[in-house]
């Protein structure tokens, strides 16, 4: 059989459990699997790698250099997976809000990206979408509900929420 070096998360869990428990039988209790399922998974991993992960010693197993490498990586990989799961769970608990914006002048985009980065760090739940296709007339796009924020220069004759006169002060500009 040609080795297939793919390694799955369950392989990392398996190696760690066998190392901690000292045998496939004891590892099966840690993993909530039958002893034969643990043996089958170990055999499958070793076939895919083309190398032994554990050497059989009587009724026990002794880890090989390949197994030690997998064991070492298992701590990093499994911890990263747990961290990612917690992060995704946190993110799903925090609703994402979307801010659609455009600016009338392409030259504003150089400072706008820096401002967006800072806003993203301060308000991780806000996703900012730049809508470049309305750059020629962002005021109309704002009035039509295609934007949440239009950064424009000059004055507008519009009234209400689109009226001019509001000033935006950032480190980068005054309007």
Output the pLDDT for position 173: 41
Residues 107 and 77 in one domain: no
Output the pLDDT for position 171: 42
96 with 125: CB under 8 angstroms? Answer: yes
Q: What is the CATH number of the domain that holds 21?
A: 1.10.10.10
Question: In this structure, is residue 82 part of a structural domain?
Answer: yes
Residues 87 and 156 in one domain: no
**Which among 66, 91, 116 is the end of a domain?**
91
Residues 25 and 66 in one domain: yes
Residues 18 and 87 in one domain: yes
- Which residue range forms the structural domain that includes residue 77? 9-91
Residues 86 and 13 in one domain: yes
pLDDT in tens, the chain (175 residues): 566 678 999 999 999 999 999 999 999 999 999 999 999 999 999 999 999 999 988 877 999 999 999 999 999 999 999 988 888 877 666 667 888 888 887 677 667 778 888 887 788 778 888 888 888 888 888 888 898 888 877 665 655 555 554 444 444 443 3
d(CA 34, CA 39): 9
Residues 45 and 74 in one domain: yes
Other Cβ atoms within 10 Å of 115 Cβ, number: 17
Residues 81 and 102 in one domain: no
Query: 154 vs 47, 50, 100, 133, 168, CA distance in Å?
Result: 70, 70, 21, 20, 13
Q: Torsion angle of alpha carbons 83, 87, 89, 90, nearest 10°?
A: 140
Residues 104 and 80 in one domain: no
Number of domains in the chain: 2
Residues 101 and 80 in one domain: no
Residues 49 and 113 in one domain: no
Output the pLDDT for position 49: 93
């Amino acid at each position: 059989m040609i080795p297939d070096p793919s390694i799955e998360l369950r392989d990392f869990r398996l190696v760690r459990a066998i190392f901690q428990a000292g045998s496939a039988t004891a590892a099966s209790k840690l993993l909530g699997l039958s002893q034969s399922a643990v043996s089958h998974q170990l055999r499958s991993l070793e076939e895919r790698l083309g190398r032994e992960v554990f050497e059989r010693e009587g009724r026990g197993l002794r880890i090989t250099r390949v197994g030690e490498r997998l064991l070492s990586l298992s701590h990093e990989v499994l911890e990263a997976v747990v961290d990612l799961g917690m992060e995704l769970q946190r993110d799903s608990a925090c609703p994402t809000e979307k801010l659609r914006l455009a600016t009338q002048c392409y030259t504003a985009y150089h400072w706008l990206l820096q401002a967006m980065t800072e806003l993203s760090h301060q308000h991780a739940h806000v996703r900012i979408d730049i809508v470049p296709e309305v750059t020629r007339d962002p005021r109309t796009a704002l009035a039509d509900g295609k934007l949440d924020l239009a950064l424009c220069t000059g004055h507008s004759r519009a009234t209400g929420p689109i009226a001019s006169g509001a000033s935006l002060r950032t480190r980068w500009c005054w309007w």
